[in-house]
Amino acid sequence: MRTRQEYIDSLKALNTVVYAFGEKIDNVVEHPLTKPHVNAAAMTYELAHDPEFEDLVTTTSHLTGKKVSRFTHIHQSADDLVKKVKMLRGISQRTGSCYQRCVGFDGINALYATTYDIDQKHGTRYHERMKDYVKHLQETDNMVCGAMTDPKGDRGLSPGKQDDPDLYVRIVEKNDKGIVIRGAKAHQTGVVNSHEILIMPTIALAEEDQDYAVACALPVDAPGVIHIFGRQSNDTRKFDEMDQGNACFGVVGGEALTVLNDVFVPWEKVFMCGEVDFAGTLVERFACYHRQNYGGCKGGVSDIIVGATAAIADMNGVARASHIRDKIVEMLHLTETVYCCSIACSSQGRPTRSGAYFVDPLLANVGKLNITRFIYEICRLSHDIAGGLLATLPSEKDLQHPEIGPYVEKYFKGKADVPTEERYRIVRLLENMTGGTALVESMHGAGSPQAQRVMILRQGNLPHKVALARKLAGIEEKG
């Protein structure tokens, strides 16, 4: 397994094409816009070598019997699923940000189970390819970006009926060596500091959309791949230090638009090619695995928000007020509630026909739907307690200015025994973690709230509940 430094050094050896603010980024490891995201992902490598986290961040490969990073592992038990959630919360507590390896982790697990099912029905050999690919990831400890979301264009039209056929990734050529794909993947978390991309379809597909039923793996720096780094709230603050709030690890995951200009993929890295009948299955499995994560990672992030909120309350001299304590209790309650759902859907996991374990889909979707509400409430309460300072604090340059700095120091002080700079830093951390990009990701990451509602209705077994009520009411079942 790679060390933190080996991961960082490996990125320098890539020829990844990345643009931001209209300019090419030559070194994602050192550029201010991307460096925090590299640091956050590096934490997953660092903790793999920490004895305190060894049982969570590493495990034994069922394919090779070797010790591997859990981020390259195929779940073999409900205990694996539970440890995943605990691992995510632990890492989030140390980064306060997205560390970007979860999407690829969920992608390999979803594809592992789905390729087995495709082979059983169609007589293909995708599953053996997938096993080889997982072994490759385990041996290299490469970071893989799970690429599912397409730009989609007109959401009311299927992929093949779009005015521009490239708005969903599609196969434009097949030959004896492999396939050529064209299109783009949007909102790609951590792609600019990954090693590989795992392409997957983004929706269930009809028979006429065979060219869009493609799953495959390719290097992030493959010829024809261009990454356009997305803006984040207050991202120009990354050129400062204190004003960032979380200078080391940034906010969310450094998303990008990944353009695929006729990219060649060899057959050994192709895991679906035209099997439209399994596109929906793959999407649902991936979505449930990814929604499982949120009580873990957002639970860990919320731990920091709660801590920062309690800290600013103390700095403001109001920590003992009863209404402040009640609000912090509510924040704690909401945090543990979202964590509970992730633990519950994991503990109720069951094996698929491939042997890989899958989460309880109903509980996974309930957990993610809770996130879309509860994180907003946690952040609202933190804003309530922190006060208007959160929105109006002058820059760190003003604090450090020789002429106006003393005024900023004097008038932004809270309790007498708390340095103004410490109050500054806590406020900036809260601003960073509770506004803008971070909140949007809580809403739409792993699918919008409506996607979870659809799955909850599908998995909720409403007819059974109606039957239970009719029986207790003394209503005979209709023949």
Domain's final residue, options 277, 307, 332 = 277
Phi/psi for 196 (5° steps) reads -140, 160
**Is the separation of the CB atoms in 138 and 65 below 8 Å?**
no
Check if 102 is active-site.
Answer: yes
Domain's final residue, options 239, 258, 277 = 277
Residue in 34, 124, 145, 255 annotated catalytic: 255
Residue in 46, 196, 275, 441 annotated catalytic: 441
- Residues 338, 344, 350, CA angle at the centre, nearest 5°? 140
Please check whether residues 218 and 311 belong to one and the same domain: no
Residue in 290, 335, 341, 437 annotated catalytic: 290
CATH of the domain at 177: 2.40.110.10
Residue 448 above 80 pLDDT?
A: yes
Please check whether residues 294 and 383 belong to one and the same domain: yes
Residue 233 above 90 pLDDT?
A: no
Please check whether residues 260 and 357 belong to one and the same domain: no
Check if 441 is active-site.
Answer: yes
Check if 189 is active-site.
Answer: yes
User: How far does the chain reach from its first CA to its final CA, in angstroms?
Assistant: 61
Domain's final residue, options 277, 311, 337 = 277
Within 10 A of 410 (CB to CB), how many other CB atoms are there? Answer: 9
Distances in Å between the Cα of 26 and the Cα atoms of 8, 119, 207, 352, 397 are 14, 42, 42, 43, 28
pLDDT tens track for 259-315: 999 999 999 999 999 999 999 999 999 999 999 999 999 999 999 999 999 999 999
Tell me the average pLDDT across 432-449: 90
Tell me the average pLDDT across 213-229: 98
Please check whether residues 301 and 329 belong to one and the same domain: yes
Question: DSSP assignment of 275-332, as one string?
Answer: -GGGHHHHHHHHHHHHHHHHHHHHHHHHHHHHHHHHHHHHHTT-TT-HHHHHHHHHHH
474 within a domain of the structure (yes/no): no
Tell me the average pLDDT across 70-96: 98
289 within a domain of the structure (yes/no): yes
CB half-sphere exposure, 279, CA atoms < 13 A:
25
Please check whether residues 296 and 266 belong to one and the same domain: no
337 within a domain of the structure (yes/no): yes
Name the pTM for this structure: 0.95
In the chain, what percentage of residues exceed pLDDT 90? 93
219 within a domain of the structure (yes/no): yes
Please check whether residues 47 and 69 belong to one and the same domain: yes
Please give the residue that has the higher pLDDT: either 179 or 479: 179
Check if 115 is active-site.
Answer: no
CATH of the domain at 412: 1.20.140.10
pLDDT of 479 reads 64
Residue 321 above 80 pLDDT?
A: yes
Gap between the Cα atoms of 209 and 253, Å rounded: 31
475 within a domain of the structure (yes/no): no
325 within a domain of the structure (yes/no): yes
Residue 435 above 70 pLDDT?
A: yes
Residue 239 above 90 pLDDT?
A: no
Tell me the average pLDDT across 245-272: 94
Mean per-residue pLDDT over the chain, rounded: 96
Task: Say which residues have a Cβ less than 8 Å from residue 216's Cβ, sequence separation at least 6.
Answer: 179, 181, 198, 199, 265, 269, 270, 271, 272
Residue in 145, 216, 288, 297 annotated catalytic: 297
Check if 294 is active-site.
Answer: yes
Phi/psi for 183 (5° steps) reads 140, -150
Q: Confidence band (pLDDT; 50, 70, 90) for 238?
A: confident
Please check whether residues 202 and 310 belong to one and the same domain: no
Check if 49 is active-site.
Answer: no
Residue in 7, 98, 273, 289 annotated catalytic: 98
Gap between the Cα atoms of 55 and 52, Å rounded: 8
344 within a domain of the structure (yes/no): yes
Tell me the average pLDDT across 67-82: 98
Please check whether residues 96 and 159 belong to one and the same domain: yes
Q: Which two tokens stand for residue 360?
A: 């309880």
Residue 229 above 70 pLDDT?
A: yes
224: left (phi over 0), alpha (psi -120 to 50) or beta: left
Check if 379 is active-site.
Answer: no
Could you give the maximum distance between any two Cα atoms of the chain, in Å? 87
Check if 216 is active-site.
Answer: no
Tell me the average pLDDT across 395-420: 96
pLDDT of 253 reads 85
pLDDT tens track for 146-161: 999 999 999 999 999 9
Give kind and range of the element (H or E) at residue 270: strand 270-273
Please check whether residues 215 and 244 belong to one and the same domain: yes
Please check whether residues 193 and 338 belong to one and the same domain: no
Which residue(s) pair with 225 in the sheet? 260
Please check whether residues 38 and 172 belong to one and the same domain: yes
Domain range for 461: 282-468
Gap between the Cα atoms of 167 and 192, Å rounded: 21
> Count of domains in the chain?
2
Q: Which two tokens stand for residue 210?
A: 């065979």
Please check whether residues 265 and 287 belong to one and the same domain: no
Residue in 58, 102, 288, 335 annotated catalytic: 102
234 within a domain of the structure (yes/no): yes
Tell me the average pLDDT across 373-397: 96
